[in-house]
Amino acid sequence: MNWILLIIAGLFEVGFAACLGKAKETTGTASYWWFSGFLICLAISMVLLVKATQTLPIGTAYAVWTGIGAVGTVLVGIFFFKEPADFWRLFFITTLIASIVGLKAVTTQ
């Protein structure tokens, strides 16, 4: 169950990074809405991360959480913010995914 919470926490990390990107692109009231979304996603992500670390090793949980956030944020950047998707970016994202899967595989809890 805590692995599921950790994955959801990572997805909310992607959410708060995406909201920051949109807040930077907008002005006025729209910017405040995106910043509010950032704060909400940040709070949910942190609460779920804390919950997950009650039974998972902190080093593994934090690495997986940041890895999900990093991979997701790069993909959001590519698909929604028109960031480059060159070979090396995709190669290193793939190695990051392999590392996350590897951490899950060697963690006994």
Asked whether the beta carbons of 32 and 87 are under 8 A apart, the reply is no
Answer yes or no: pTM beyond 0.85: yes
Residue type, 76: V
pLDDT (mean) for 96-101: 93
Q: Amino acid identity of 15?
A: G
pLDDT band for 14, please (50, 70, 90 cuts): very high
Taking the CA atoms of 26, 30, 36 and 37 in sequence, report the sign of the dihedral they define. negative
Chain centroid to Cα 38, Å, comes to 12
